[in-house]
Amino acid sequence: MPDWNVRRVTAVTALLLATLLSAACSSGPRIITNSAPDFSIANYRTFGFFRPLSTDRGNVQSLESKQLIASATRELEMAGLRRDDSNPDLLVNFVISTRETLQSRPSSSVGVHHSRGRYGTWGGYSMSMSTTEVVQRTEGTLGVDMVDRARNQLVWEGAATGRVTDQMRANRDQVLDSAIADIFAKFP
For residue 67, being part of any structural domain is answered with yes
How many domains does the chain fold into? 1
pLDDT at 28: 81
Instruction: Say whether pTM exceeds 0.75.
Output: no
pLDDT at 72: 98
For residue 116, being part of any structural domain is answered with no
For residue 13, being part of any structural domain is answered with no
For residue 112, being part of any structural domain is answered with no
For residue 64, being part of any structural domain is answered with yes
For residue 110, being part of any structural domain is answered with no
pLDDT at 125: 58
For residues 39 and 169, give the distance between their C-alpha atoms in angstroms, rounded to a whole number: 34
pLDDT at 13: 34
pLDDT at 38: 93
Q: Could you tell me which residues are beta bridge partners of residue 123? A: none
Instruction: Using 70 as the pLDDT threshold, list the residues of the chain that sit under it.
Output: 1-27, 107-130
pLDDT at 31: 97
For residue 139, being part of any structural domain is answered with yes
Can you give the residue range of the structural domain that contains 174?
A: 31-104+135-184
For residue 158, being part of any structural domain is answered with yes
CATH number at 97 reads: 3.30.160.670
pLDDT at 140: 93
